[in-house]
């Protein structure tokens, strides 16, 4: 009974003037906790963000870059001419090549291919093949067809040429792709015009 009266008197009587209340002590402890821990915390985000104009600084890319902008090759992909080997009996393939060339803006010159069934041995080199490699008539006819294109290149007097066979295919954006390939080859070969000659062939 005496204990209960003592506790009741303690909590009902006002605190001494030289002692802080429980509320003020709680606030003091909270301030001390913030002071102890804030030194290891990053500053608030709103303190570190500076408001600048809407302009965004563009960081330049690292390393060599391909040319920018729509660089387009000419109708022969920057070669002197584009030759296409086509058997006269395969008009269907010539039709396909003509349609693809028209869609992509290319100019082709067709050269008659050589049929292996009508190939004369006099049209072949004196020696060809080896004891390990036997060339079939189709291989020999393919060679003769390409040799005919080589002769045509000399007769036309073009410096560079691109030779296709009539079953080739390409991307319709080939005129935009080739300048990028040419630029990359130029960086590798250190040649400003890498299409001007084949590797190992001395320039004229």
For the chain, what are the domain ranges?
A: 81-172
pLDDT of residue 56: 54
pLDDT in tens, 68-95: 556 899 999 999 999 999 999 999 999 9
- 196 or 180, greater pLDDT: 180
Is 63 a residue whose pLDDT tops 90?
no
Q: Give 134-177 pLDDT, tens digit per residue.
A: 788 888 899 999 999 999 999 999 999 999 999 999 999 999 99
pLDDT at residue 1 tops 50: no
- Tens of pLDDT along 14-53? 555 555 555 555 555 555 555 555 555 555 555 444 455 5
For 163-167, the CB contacts below 8 A with 24+ separation are 163/82, 163/83, 163/84, 163/85, 164/82, 164/83, 164/84, 164/85, 164/97, 164/108, 165/84, 165/85, 165/113, 166/84, 166/85, 166/86, 166/87, 166/90, 166/93, 166/94, 166/96, 166/97, 166/113, 167/93
How much is the average pLDDT of 176-186? 89
Query: For residue 198, is pLDDT > 60?
Result: no
Under 8 Å CB-to-CB from 169, ≥6 apart: which residues?
100
Residue 6 has pLDDT above 60, yes or no: no
């Amino acid at each position: 009974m005496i204990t209960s009266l003592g506790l009741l008197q303690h909590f009902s009587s006002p605190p001494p003037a030289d002692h802080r209340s429980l509320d003020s002590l709680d606030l003091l402890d909270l301030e001390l906790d913030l002071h102890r821990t804030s030194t290891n915390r990053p500053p608030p985000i709103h303190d570190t963000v500076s408001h600048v104009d809407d302009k965004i600084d563009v960081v330049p890319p690292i390393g060599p870059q391909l040319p920018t902008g729509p660089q387009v090759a000419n109708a022969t992909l920057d070669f002197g001419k584009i030759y296409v080997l086509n058997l006269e009996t395969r008009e269907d393939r010539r039709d396909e090549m003509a349609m693809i060339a028209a869609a992509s803006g290319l100019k082709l010159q067709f050269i008659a291919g050589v049929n292996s069934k009508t190939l004369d041995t006099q049209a072949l080199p004196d020696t060809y093949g080896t004891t390990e490699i036997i060339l079939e008539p189709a291989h020999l006819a393919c060679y003769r067809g390409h040799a005919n294109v080589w002769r045509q290149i000399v007769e036309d007097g073009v410096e560079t040429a691109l030779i296709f066979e009539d079953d080739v295919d390409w991307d319709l954006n080939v005129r935009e792709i080739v300048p990028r390939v040419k630029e990359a080859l130029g960086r590798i070969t250190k040649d400003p015009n890498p299409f001007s000659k084949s590797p190992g062939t001395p320039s004229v």
